[in-house]
Structure 1
Amino acid sequence: MKLTHYCFSALLLFAVAGCDRLEQDMLSAPDDTTLDRYGLDTLKLGDKRAVAGKALDALLIKPLQCTTGKTGLGDKRKAYVLEECNAVPVAGEVGELWGEKLSFLKAVYVEDQLCSVELQLKTSGNYEALYDTHGKKILNLFGKPDEATAKGVTWQREDDEAIVKDLGNGKISVEIRNKKVMQALHHKG
């Protein structure tokens, strides 16, 4: 089955009317070799804490609340500085991204570098309009998708991955992470 049958149901779950446009936009999307790292507009994985924190705070109503600790990475016997930062909700919202309301945002730093961003958008649920507004931008940020299902789209690079999922009722989650670091954090030798 062609990816266009999913019709961005994974990229932002768009209506059938956007299928032809989606196919054309995907053909013109950048290849992995032309992308440096995954991210959101000016924010990229691997950015230093000061740069990434400033870019994230610009999206939020209140500054991120962070907890710092130490962690191991996989079987290595070194302790690394881990910082997990969560957005503080105000009336069910934490901020705004691309003109859409954010209901959740979490960032993870390891050794002062951004390794993961998870967020949830609250949208109108009009996926065709969302594609018109954000589809090409997302394809330019992440390139050609590697996998698409009826509920989500995944982009994979050697070190990074990005996943956009439909959670229903206009809620869309976006996860961008350094695969190697995040898998090592969860690996208990």
Structure 2
Amino acid sequence: MKIIHYCLSALLLFAVAGCDRLEQDMLSAPDDATLDRYGFETVKLGDKRVEAVKSLETLLRVPLECKLGKTGLGDKRKAYLLEECKVTPVNGEVGKLWDEKLSFFKAVFVEDQLCSLEVQMKTSGNYEALYDAHGKKIINLFGKPDEIEAKGVVWQRENDEAVLKDLGDGKVSLDIRNKKVMQALHHKG
């Protein structure tokens, strides 16, 4: 029972959601082959900047603040266009995702393609209620987890990675990134 409780609390950080329901949700989760790219319902990694920003701004209370720059990718001797977009919090909030308050938001575009999303949600801390509301949706977006730890869950595909972490006090972070591009970034200019 202790192992089951540990897995439940780690999976999506929405603890004690009920063994049978969680098991059914995991069995019905899509396989990597059926998933296109990681992201939210309306925006996915690899989306073009214009479409991605339109979708992302529907989640946010204030517009994105973007900084342009150039970067190298790995050993290639070419400068690529890099754009990092953040939102300044208003009263500690930047917007909402899945009806939960966002306290931090960052998107990274390389050559006008979305390569990374980072969000932090301020939740009630009632992980069972959060799982009831959002657990199946998250499993359907990312599929079966590849790694489950006490404080986080990792999903990995060939190019993409999603990491959900419990930051404590009801704070949850979700990082979605193109692994190859984000690991190769260097020499910001």
Equivalent residue of 1:41, what SS?
A: coil
Q: Distance in 2 between matches of 1:157 and 1:95?
A: 28
Segment of structure 1 superposing worse, 172-181 or 19-28? 19-28
**CA shift digits 1:35-67 (9 cap, x unpaired):** 000000111000000011011111011011000
Percent identity at matched positions? 78
Letter in 2 for 1:117: L
Give 1:81's aligned residue.
81
Distance 1:136 1:2 in 2: 23
Quote the residue 1:148 is aligned against: 148
- Mean Cα deviation higher: 83-92 or 2-11: 2-11
Q: Residue in 2 aligned with 1:18?
A: 18
Code of the residue aligned with 1:20 in structure 2: it is D
Structure 2 unaligned residues grouped into runs of 5+: none
Which residue identity is paired with 2:122?
A: K
Residue pair 1:3, 1:148 contacting (<8 A) in 2 also: no
Contact 1:10/1:164 (CA < 8 Å) preserved in 2?
Answer: no
How far off is 1:7 after superposition? 4.0
CA gap of 1:119–1:8, structure 2 versus 1, over 3 A, is farther
State how far apart, in whole Å, the 2-side matches of 1:8 and 1:95 are: 28
Aligned-residue offset at 1:87: 1.2
* Residue aligning to 2:92: 92
The Cα shift of 1:3 comes to 7.2
CA contact (8 A) 1:38 1:161 kept: yes
2:48 maps to 48
Instruction: Using the TM superposition, give the Cα deviation of residue 27 of structure 1 relative to its aligned residue in structure 2, in angstroms.
Output: 0.8
TM-score, scaled relative to structure 1: 0.94
Contact 2:8 2:17 in 1 (8 A): no
Report the secondary structure of 1:43's partner residue.
Answer: coil
Deviates more, 1:44-53 or 1:2-11: 2-11
Q: CA deviation at 1:15?
A: 3.0
- How many residues of Structure 1 are paired with residues of Structure 2 in the alignment? 188
Question: What is residue 66 of structure 1 aligned with on the other side?
Answer: 66
Amino acid at match of 2:130: L
How far did residue 186 of structure 1 move?
4.3
Cα separation, partners in 2 of 1:63 and 1:104, compared to 1, 3 Å = same
In the TM superposition, residue 11 of structure 1 has moved relative to its aligned partner by 3.6
Judged with a 3 Å threshold, the aligned counterparts in structure 2 of structure 1 residues 2 and 141 are, in CA distance, closer, same or farther, namely: farther
Superposition TM-score, scaled by structure 2 size: 0.94
Cα separation, partners in 2 of 1:102 and 1:135, compared to 1, 3 Å: same
| CA contact 1:108–1:114 (8 Å) conserved in 2 | yes
Q: CA deviation at 1:187?
A: 8.4
